[in-house]
Amino acid sequence: MQLHNMIFIVDDDPIHQQIANIMIKRQGIGENVRAFSDAQDVLDYLRQYSFEPEQLPDLILLDLNMPVMDGWDFLNDYAGFYKDLAKQIGIFVLTSSIDDKDRKKVDNYSFVKGYLTKPLSSEIITKLQAS
Amino acid sequence: MMNAIMGNALIKLIPALLLDLHGNLLYVNQGAAGWLQVPEGEFHPAGNISSLHFNDVIGKNTGVYWPMLCHLYTMGRSACVDMYCHTRQWVQWQLSAAGEYFLLTGTDITGRRPLADDQSLLRSLPCGLQQFTPDGIHCCANEVQQEIWEAIDPAMSRPGYNMFEEPVFQETGLCEMFEEVLCTKASARKEILLGYREHETKGVVRILPSYYDVTVFAVTDEQGNISTLQLVMKDITERQLAFRRLEKSARLLDLIIEHLPIGYIQFDHFGFVRRINHTQREFFQYEYEEGEAPFNIMSDPFARLYGLDRLFKDVMVGNKVIRVEKQLDFSKDSRWTAQSREVWLDLTLFPLKDPVDKQQIVAVLVNDITDRKLEQQMRNLLQRNTEQLHLFFDAVDMGYATMEKDGTLSFANRKAEEMAGRRIFAGENIFEIMPELGYATPFKTRFSAALTGTASASFSSYFPRRYKWYEFLITPLRDGTVSVFIRDITDSRNMQKDLFRANKQLNKLNKSLVNQNQQLEDFAHITSHNLRAPIANLKALMQMHNDSSLPQEKEQYLSLLQEVIFKIDETLNDLVDVVQIRKNVDMDREPLVFSERLQYVKDVLFADIEKSGIQLTTHFDVPMLEFPRLYLDSILQNLITNAIRYRTQERRPCLHFMSWQENGYTILTAEDNGLGIDMERFGHKLFGFRKTFHKNKDAKGIGLFITKTQVEAMGGSIRAESTPGQGTKFIITFKTE
């Protein structure tokens, strides 16, 4: 079992943030869980610590449907600089959308490791752990 | 005895007859038998049935019968009778008694007999006789001759007149005749025009020529010297004139034939060409060469090829006139004609009796009818073509008519007649047959317009009395006539109209379906994102709640559950609002005054407006709008709320409303000086359900969505223009009815 040092939750829904936080901690796959409501903040953070691997998260759970900057904006921006990051970050899209179009669109981003649909469950957390 | 011998001797010399007292012949001697043409010898009147009587042989020929002669004898007169007998001798029979018999002795008195009484002979001569001296001096003339001269020149029969000195006669040739006779001593005969006579008929005096048959001969004495010159003249003017007239008419006929405007060929009894007139020579372009054997219709190969020999024979044998039209190809004959082409000839052959030879001949009249025939063929062809064309036009399911520019019809096909509702005859006028096409009608106007151009003009016209739509194609033809096609397009027009209507409905339906589909899709999207998310949270929380054994944790989860349920309720309420709007497409419109509604909304939002200090200005060019009041209030409220919510702290917030008319639509704009929005990034989501673009806590992403739904439900549209940091302008286009 691999322990993820740091996990970011990017979602504007505060309840989801809490649920995710609790479940991740309960499953024990990561200790350091941080929630972001604004995807822009995450990008800023990543750029800031791009050369400090210990500051970078191991895993990002990204929601698609968010105000101001949505998941797609984030992915497009991230695609431009992820290769320069000092650490390989596992990005999972975690959304309530079960639209197939969204799933296929996500496939275009090679660095996204999986497309997960809410609700977050112990099975999904286990999957994250496996990655 | 001596007497008897003498008697016998005399009997033999002198022709004599012995008769009985009744005049029966008893004996005829040789001489008398010759003159009287009776047998010589004795006759026995008593028993002989062939007895002859004086009356039979002499009385009959002289008119002096036996009783008459006997009477003369008994009266003591000279009983003799002169008889001209077949030997061309004059014989005088002298009656004398011989005992109980009579004796007739014949004497040849031819030499002694005077010709006639000179005076009476001359007088009764049916021609003029005049005697001249050899010097040409007039001696005497009979009455006829004097009358002749009287008519011409009386001087000629006066004593002492010298014919040789008369200049007229030298001209006429009479003098020449006298000189000729003087010279040759033989007679001369000539027909001479001696002069002219006046002839009066019915008050008109005509000068007629006087022709005479003139004979001149010389009378000679025993020595052969000319003693007198005799002139015999006979008036032959009548005969001569008749002859001249005949000659003239013959010559005229000849000329007529020669210059006849049709060809004339005359064949002799054997089929040889004897005469060809000028026209025919021209036609044949044939020059006769000296010594060439003439054309023979019975043996010429070309004539036989076309059966002209049979034709000739038919006329000759049947003695009848034949008239035929023949097509001859003269290129097959090179000998008789240079006409090397095919011609049509109208031939009339008729038999004639040659007035001289009394033989049957044939005359042929030739008329070149090639042009006429070709024209006729052309006309037939044209006629056939026209008929075919007319048949074709009858078969076409379109009215067709040709007419003059004034509308006088020359042809109308069956369909056109059906349209007119009656038979149409050439020469009728279309505007009289169908008055609805006439003066001041669209057809007449278009028809006249089409005539000025050269290209076809097509238009359709409605005839309300017939409930018909007709399409016309008017083509001015080069010959000045006009061809008109008429098509009944009522059905297609109606179909077109129906189709148009159906299409319109379909379009509307389609639009509404697309709209509904879009809405469904939107709804699916909304449910997928906005409903699924909280439900997923519910699910997760329930799971966590169930999995937890700690009462403290359970309580925490339940409070979170409550929060989620509240949110779901809120979202569902919003959605219900939207669905309600969309359902009520046919909301009642009412006339609304912009400024009034704005005042109402301002009152509702009084607190917010005061707190934000926003300045509201208006410029309503169009003051009114027919719209559901609830919607307009909602729209105005959302626009004001938006302007307040997304105002900037940098300046005093302002919102300016404007309305105007554009292309039949009423436009309403609301322009603020707030934060603005990055249209490039968020333009597509601006009016989306629960879409927010600001980190503003109040942003729920529902106002503009509702506004858009309300505008669209009433057939309008909304869009936005914005520059981040400067402000946003919303432009609403209302559909007005």
Give B695's contacts in chain A (Cβ within 8 Å).
38, 67-68
Give A13's contacts in chain B (Cβ within 8 Å).
533-534, 537
Residue bearing the bigger pLDDT, B25 or B660: B660
Same domain, B438 and B536: no
Q: Which of A23, A68, A96 sits opposite B529 (nearest CB)?
A: A96
A68 reaches B (C-beta below 8 A): yes
Interface confidence, given as ipTM, is: 0.86
When mean pLDDT is compared across B332-336, B597-601, B678-682, the lowest value belongs to B332-336
Residue B141, classed as helix, strand or coil, is strand
Of B475, B477, B492, B476, the closest CA to residue B397 belongs to B492
Q: Tokens representing B284? A: 């044949």
Same domain, B598 and B726: yes
| Cβ neighbours of residue B217 closer than 8 Å, sequence gap 6 or more | B181, B186, B187, B188, B229, B230, B232
Average pLDDT of span B481-495: 87
| Domain C-terminal end among B458, B488, B518 | B488
Residue B657 binned pLDDT confidence (cut-offs 50, 70, 90): very high
CA distance B629 to chain A (A): 32
CA distance B704 to B699: 11
Contact yes or no for A121 and B540 at CB 8 A: yes
Residue A3: the pLDDT is: 57
CA distance A32 to chain B (A): 20
Res B271 pLDDT > 70: yes
Q: Is the dihedral of CA B671, B674, B680, B686 positive or negative?
A: negative
CATH number of the domain at A4-130, out of 3.40.50.2020, 3.40.50.2300, 3.30.870.10, 3.40.1080.10?
A: 3.40.50.2300
Neighbours of B303 (CB within 10 A): 21
- Tell me phi and psi for residue B454, to 5 degrees: -110, -15
Residue B623: the pLDDT is: 93
In a domain, residue B254? The reply is no
CA distance A91 to chain B (A): 20
Of B178, B227, B233, the closest CA to residue B210 belongs to B233
A126 reaches B (C-beta below 8 A): no
- B555 HSE (CA, 13 A, CB side): 3
Cβ B336 vs Cβ B286: under 8 Å: yes
CA distance B347 to B79: 82
Residue B698 binned pLDDT confidence (cut-offs 50, 70, 90): low
Q: Tokens representing B717? A: 């549209």
Residue A1 binned pLDDT confidence (cut-offs 50, 70, 90): very low
The residue segments making up the domain with residue B150 are 118-244
Q: Which of A3-17, B37-51, B113-127 shows the highest mean pLDDT?
A: A3-17
Give B544's contacts in chain A (Cβ within 8 Å).
19, 22-23, 26
In a domain, residue B37? The reply is yes
In a domain, residue B625? The reply is yes
Same domain, B131 and B219: yes
Contact yes or no for B540 and A13 at CB 8 A: no
Residue A116, beta-bridge partner list:
A94
Structural domain tally of chain B? 6
CA distance B513 to chain A (A): 22
Query: Among B522, B523, B526, B529, which would you mutate to test the A interface (most chain A Cβ atoms within 10 Å of its Cβ)?
Result: B529
| Cβ neighbours of residue B266 closer than 8 Å, sequence gap 6 or more | B273, B274, B275, B276, B361, B362, B363, B364
A76 reaches B (C-beta below 8 A): no
A38 reaches B (C-beta below 8 A): yes
For chains A and B, CB pairs below 8 A equal 69
In a domain, residue B579? The reply is no
End-to-end CA distance of chain B: 188
Neighbours of B414 (CB within 10 A): 17
Residue B114: the pLDDT is: 58
Cβ B133 vs Cβ B119: under 8 Å: no
In a domain, residue B575? The reply is no
Q: Which of B528, B540, B563 sits opposite A97 (nearest CB)?
A: B528
pLDDT in tens, A22-71: 888 888 777 788 999 889 999 999 999 989 888 899 999 999 888 778 89
Pairing relation of β-strands A30-36 and A4-10? parallel
Average pLDDT of span B260-282: 87
Residue B401, classed as helix, strand or coil, is strand
When mean pLDDT is compared across A26-30, B482-486, B689-693, the lowest value belongs to B689-693
CA distance A54 to chain B (A): 30
A130 reaches B (C-beta below 8 A): no
Give B524's contacts in chain A (Cβ within 8 Å).
99
Q: Tokens representing B360? A: 């049957």
Same domain, B593 and B709: yes
- Tell me phi and psi for residue A105, to 5 degrees: -65, -40
Same domain, B363 and B429: no
User: Over B215-226, what HEC string results?
Assistant: EEEEEECCCCCE
In a domain, residue B661? The reply is yes
Q: Where are the alpha helices (DSSP H) in B605-659?
A: 606-612, 629-645
Of B272, B281, B279, B382, the closest CA to residue B316 belongs to B272
When mean pLDDT is compared across B271-285, B651-665, B666-680, the lowest value belongs to B271-285
pLDDT in tens, B620-638: 999 999 999 988 999 999 9
Residue B424: the pLDDT is: 86
Same domain, B132 and B236: yes
Contact yes or no for A15 and B563 at CB 8 A: yes
Q: For residue B727, what is the enclosing H or E element?
A: strand B727-734
Same domain, B716 and B596: yes
Same domain, B173 and B267: no
User: Over B254-322, what HEC string results?
Assistant: HHHHHHCCCEEEEECCCCEEEEECHHHHHHHCCCCCCCCCCCECCCCHHHHHCCHHHHHHHHHHHCCCE
Q: Which of A38, A117, A119 sits opposite B537 (nearest CB)?
A: A119
Q: Which of A19, A38, A97 sits opposite B529 (nearest CB)?
A: A97
- DSSP codes of every residue in A70-129: -HHHHHHHHHTTGGGSSS--EEEEEES---HHHHHHHHT-TTEEEEEESSP-HHHHHHHH
Res B301 pLDDT > 90: no
| Domain C-terminal end among B211, B244, B277 | B244
Residue B695: the pLDDT is: 66
CA distance A69 to chain B (A): 8
CA distance B536 to chain A (A): 4
Neighbours of B463 (CB within 10 A): 17
CATH number, domain containing residue B631: 3.30.565.10
Angle at A42 between CA A38 and CA A44, to 5 degrees: 110
CB neighbour class for B8 (10 Å; exposed up to 12, middle 13-18, buried from 19): exposed
Same domain, B507 and B477: no
Same domain, B386 and B482: yes
CA distance A67 to chain B (A): 5
CA distance B634 to B629: 9
Of B681, B680, B704, the closest CA to residue B691 belongs to B704
Of A70, A67, A55, the closest CA to residue A102 belongs to A70
Residue B13: the pLDDT is: 79
Give B691's contacts in chain A (Cβ within 8 Å).
67
Q: Which of A18, A26, A68 sits opposite B693 (nearest CB)?
A: A68
CA distance B732 to B728: 13
CATH number, domain containing residue B177: 3.30.450.20
| Cβ neighbours of residue A19 closer than 8 Å, sequence gap 6 or more | A119, A120, B537, B540, B541, B544, B560
Contact yes or no for B537 and A15 at CB 8 A: yes
Give B678's contacts in chain A (Cβ within 8 Å).
none
Residue bearing the bigger pLDDT, B315 or B478: B315
CA distance A53 to chain B (A): 30
Average pLDDT of span A86-96: 90
Res B656 pLDDT > 90: yes
What residues 84-113 of chain A have any CB closer than 8 A to a CB of chain B?
Answer: 96-99
Of B385, B429, B383, B380, the closest CA to residue B404 belongs to B429
A52 reaches B (C-beta below 8 A): no
* Helix axes of A122-130 and A14-27: crossing angle, nearest 10 degrees: 60
Residues of B with CB under 8 A from a CB of A: 524-525, 528-529, 532-534, 536-541, 543-544, 547, 560, 563-564, 567, 681, 691-695, 699, 701
Same domain, B324 and B297: yes
Cβ A62 vs Cβ A84: under 8 Å: no
Neighbours of B285 (CB within 10 A): 12
Same domain, B643 and B592: yes
Report the percent of chain B where pLDDT is more than 90. Answer: 15
Q: Which residue of A has its CA nearest to B553?
A: A22
